[in-house]
């Protein structure tokens, strides 16, 4: 066919028709290559989810193909109305897109991330980890050959292909699949139907439609609070905990264990000025100077302390009625178990200061009972969380004159420090009733408090909200300062190693490590569900479930040139899946 023998209009019309069929062939090729995306999720498939997957695959790549043609090839048809030029351009463009799809699929299989800005901003990301450049080069040459063959074959057989008269039916197939898949997703999003929602963001550049506003109007949407409690596509559905039975020794000489957990406390206030009793205990104990809470949510932080597991396991842990390891040890050693906590409703009704006082008295009574030969006791004190203290309690509180607090904030700060001072007295009354030579004592806090945002419910993953005390008094152990980064995940491994003398590696039951061991981590994973952060000494990377991320200093000042540690992301995914069954 000689292009010069036709008018400009005829050449453009023929090239547009060729472009449509070349587009269809490449959509089929892209769909065939993208089936592997669907095997990256371990989900119990249903008939509806299979229908969604097939229609979403066809509709999504049909839409991407059409957009690619409209944006790239269609305008070039009018600029270069030459069949040879357009066949060459079309083959090169299609090859580039297919190669990008190949690389994206390999990256997603390995890391559960698509090729986007977040991936290329990851410090340490190397494409060779996913697919070698030699393989890419060979596949590029093979793919370019296939695309040139397709382009020429369709051009030469264009008249025959036109006679098939199936263009409208193919367009209807892509359009219908697109509409059906998005309607299914709208319903699944409204009802939290996991077999469909688990495949969110599996395909590159995909985003399932929602219609929560409209459906909520007619009462067809699951309650938003319930939605936020579910981590769609990421929460494990089952748990294996511990991974291996615990192997512990020295059963006869097991000392007592006392865990005092403050709902809120800043590590910086464990000083002789504000908390003298706790400061005195710290001087003769193991102290983690850089201890970071693993959640700003009180319930989840307590879960992290007691299990050494990420917060993603909270729901399935209690749904499966999985026993706490400390509970197992109390049964094995026939120890008295004492657990004193309060609900939010009880705190609001009776007051935190009164409840803390009553629980402290109850704990002392239980610890000093003659029938108690050994115990595992856990008490949570809430006064500092509620800025509460008895009305007749009025210690001398002196704020740092250099603190940048305005008058209202200084009032709230005094109330907070007064409540910490009150808790220090309660802690002292407990400590004086136990024999430290036979009792391991752990004192920590769920989270810290930003005094400039006490009534603003600050959810910032800043150091001021996360830096909490961790004091461990181990019998027959010299005082020691731990300067490496530590977190709530490390508490259980330390207790099982040095209190219960268990030989298991920490990886059998926790994502943390023994504080007294040589291993140290440069980053700590914080949060759960729809948002989490990676905490490092020099920066904090906040990430939400859509992959959006922002970088801050530990003082929560924005960083424009921050980098997300790629290995941290890989380790996070591995640790999250370790206990899934």
Query: What backbone torsions phi and psi does residue 445 show, to the nearest 5 degrees?
Result: -145, 150
Domains of the chain, start order:
3-183 (no CATH), 256-521 (3.40.720.10)
Residue 405 has pLDDT above 90, yes or no: no
Residue 122 has pLDDT above 70, yes or no: no
> Pairing state of beta strands 256-264 and 439-447?
parallel
Tell me the pLDDT of the chain averaged across its residues: 82
pTM: 0.66
Query: What backbone torsions phi and psi does residue 439 show, to the nearest 5 degrees?
Result: -135, 130
Report the C-alpha gap between 574 and 203 in whole angstroms. 21
Which tens digits make up the pLDDT trace of 232-274? 335 677 788 998 888 887 655 567 999 999 999 999 999 999 9
Would you state the pLDDT for residue 235? 61
Which tens digits make up the pLDDT trace of 363-389? 999 998 866 788 999 999 999 999 999
Over 313-365, what HEC string results?
Answer: HHHHHHHCCCCCHHHHHHHHCCCEEEEECCCHHHHHHHCHHHHHHHHHHHHHH
Closest CA to 283 of 271, 265, 269, 267: 271
Which tens digits make up the pLDDT trace of 21-64? 898 989 999 888 888 887 766 566 788 888 888 898 888 888 88
Q: How confident is the model at residue 439 (pLDDT cuts 50, 70, 90)?
A: very high
Residue 117 has pLDDT above 60, yes or no: no
Mean pLDDT of 195-201: 75
Report the C-alpha gap between 258 and 416 in whole angstroms. 25
Tokens 């609001």 map to which residue?
348
Task: Kindly give, in sequence order, each residue whose CB lies less than 8 Å from that of residue 530, ignoring residues fewer than 6 positions away.
Answer: 228, 231, 544, 545
Would you state the pLDDT for residue 545? 60
- DSSP line for 238-288: -B--SSS---B---TT--EEEEEEEEE--GGG-STTT-HHHHHHHHTSEEE
Tokens of 95: 């090859």
Q: How confident is the model at residue 203 (pLDDT cuts 50, 70, 90)?
A: confident
Which tens digits make up the pLDDT trace of 215-241? 554 444 444 444 443 333 356 777 889
Alpha helices (H) in 157-197, listed in sequence order = 158-164, 167-191, 194-197
Would you state the pLDDT for residue 1? 44
State which H helix or E strand residue 558 sits in: strand 558-559
Q: Mean pLDDT check: name the lowest of 430-444, 498-512, 556-570.
A: 556-570
């Amino acid at each position: 066919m000689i292009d010069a023998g036709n008018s400009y209009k005829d050449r453009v019309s023929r090239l547009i028709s060729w472009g449509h069929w070349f587009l269809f062939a490449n959509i089929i090729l892209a769909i065939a290559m993208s089936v592997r995306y669907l095997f990256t999720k371990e989900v119990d498939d249903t008939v509806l989810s299979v229908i969604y997957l097939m229609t979403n695959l066809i509709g999504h790549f049909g839409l991407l193909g059409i957009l690619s043609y409209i944006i790239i090839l269609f305008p070039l048809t009018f600029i270069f109305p030459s069949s040879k030029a357009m066949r060459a351009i079309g083959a090169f463009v299609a090859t580039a897109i297919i190669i990008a799809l190949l690389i994206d699929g390999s990256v997603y299989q390995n890391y559960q991330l698509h090729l986007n800005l977040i991936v290329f901003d990851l410090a340490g990301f190397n494409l060779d980890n996913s697919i070698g450049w030699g393989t890419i080069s060979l596949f590029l040459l093979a793919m370019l050959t296939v695309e040139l063959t397709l382009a020429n074959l369709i051009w030469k057989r264009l008249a025959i292909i036109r006679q098939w008269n199936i263009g409208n039916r193919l367009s209807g197939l892509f359009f219908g699949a697109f509409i059906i898949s998005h309607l299914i997703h709208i319903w699944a999003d409204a009802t939290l139907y996991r077999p469909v929602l688990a495949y969110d963001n599996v395909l590159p550049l995909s985003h399932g439609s929602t219609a929560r506003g409209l459906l909520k109007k007619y009462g067809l949407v699951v309650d938003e609070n319930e939605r936020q409690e579910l981590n769609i596509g990421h929460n494990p559905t089952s748990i294996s905990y511990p991974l291996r039975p615990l192997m512990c020794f020295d059963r006869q000489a097991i000392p007592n264990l006392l865990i005092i957990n403050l709902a809120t406390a800043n590590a910086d206030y464990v000083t002789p000025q504000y908390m003298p009793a706790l400061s005195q205990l710290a001087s003769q104990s193991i102290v983690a100077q850089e201890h970071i809470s693993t959640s700003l949510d009180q319930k989840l932080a307590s879960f992290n302390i007691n299990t050494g597991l990420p917060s993603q396991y909270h729901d399935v842990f209690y749904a499966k009625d999985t026993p706490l390891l400390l509970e197992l040890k109390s049964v094995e050693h026939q120890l008295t178990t004492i657990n004193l906590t309060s609900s939010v409703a009880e705190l609001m009704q009776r007051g935190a200061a009164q409840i803390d006082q009553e629980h402290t008295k109850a704990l002392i009574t239980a610890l000093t009972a003659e029938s108690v030969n050994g115990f595992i006791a856990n008490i949570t004190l809430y006064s500092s969380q509620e800025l509460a203290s008895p009305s007749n309690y009025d210690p001398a509180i002196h704020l740092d004159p250099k603190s940048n607090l305005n008058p209202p904030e200084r009032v709230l700060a005094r109330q907070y420090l007064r409540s910490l001072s009150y808790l220090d007295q309660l802690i002292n009354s407990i400590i004086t009733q136990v024999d430290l030579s036979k009792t391991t004592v752990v004192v920590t806090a769920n989270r810290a408090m930003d005094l400039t945002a006490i009534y603003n419910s600050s959810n910032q993953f800043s150091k001021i909200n996360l830096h909490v005390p961790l004091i461990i008094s181990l019998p027959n152990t010299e005082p020691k300062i731990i300067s490496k980064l530590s977190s709530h995940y490390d508490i259980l491994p330390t207790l099982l190693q040095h209190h219960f003398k268990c030989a298991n590696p920490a990886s059998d039951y926790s994502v943390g490590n023994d504080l007294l061991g040589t291993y140290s981590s440069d980053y700590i994973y914080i949060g759960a569900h729809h948002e989490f952060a990676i905490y490092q000494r020099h920066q904090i990377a906040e990430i939400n479930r859509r992959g959006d991320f922002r970088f801050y200093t530990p003082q929560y000042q924005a960083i424009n040139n921050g980098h997300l540690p790629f290995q941290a992301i890989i380790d996070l995914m591995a640790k999250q899946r370790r206990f899934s069954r």
